[in-house]
Copies of this chain bind each other. A is one copy, B any other.
Amino acid sequence: MELLKERICHSGRVIGKDILKVDSFLNHQMDVQLFQEIGKEFKRRFAEEKITKILTIEASGIGVACITAQYFNNAPVVFAKKLIARNLDAEVYESKVYSFTKATNYIIRVDKKYLNAKDTVLIIDDFLANGNAVLGLLDISRQAGANIAGVGIVIEKSFQDGREVVLKENVKLESLARVKSLKDGKITFVD
């Protein structure tokens, strides 16, 4: 998606060799107009299935998921909640996610009322790095018995394992910008 790549080049900041800060438009300040274009692009890439739920994870996936939902007939958006402590609850799906950034496990949780075997789910997130958050969302979708239409990612860090990890799960993966490298402070894309 050219518009997105241009925006990343213009407004993204590279820190060290693997951090790309895009908090001016994606995950702290949010450019709703750009999100609309992102939503349209996700619709183009997942046009073939009738999506009944959009699943994301708090916090930075929520904005882009809500705007995107408008291009999928206003499908309801469900966001998985992150928990540090685990108190068992029979009424929720849970999955354990390892965060490399924080070097700790956390639990993500979705109430069983909001995802079930009748759903066709599109998983949306802002970033794909090592793929652990997406694995957790796939796990929850499968626990629900939902049909998984695929995974839509705004920015993929293609120099990390996420793509490989997700494709091993046999799901369709669409990343709107695939960052090949951040070496020497320069952002380059796959293709």
Residues of A within 8 A of B (CB): 23-24, 28-33, 35-36, 58-59, 62-63, 65-67, 69-70, 74-79, 81, 110-111, 113-114
Q: Assuming A59-B59, A62-B63, A66-B67, is B79 touching A28 (CB within 8 A)?
A: yes
Number of copies: 2
A77 is contacted by which of B24, B32, B65, B70 (Cβ under 8 Å)?
B32
Report Cα–Cα, A164/B19, bound state, in Å. Answer: 44
Say yes or no: A74-B111 contact (C-beta < 8 A), given A59-B58, A63-B66.
Answer: no
Q: Per a CB cutoff under 8 Å, which of B29, B35, B66 touches A30?
A: B66
In the complex the two chains form, what is the Cα distance from A77 to B114 in whole Å? 27
- A141 to chain B minimum Cβ distance, whole angstroms, is 14
Nearest CB on B from A127, distance (A): 15
Task: Report if A32-B70 is in contact (Cβ < 8 Å); known contacts: A111-B23, A114-B24.
Answer: yes
Contact A28–B62 (Cβ < 8 Å): no
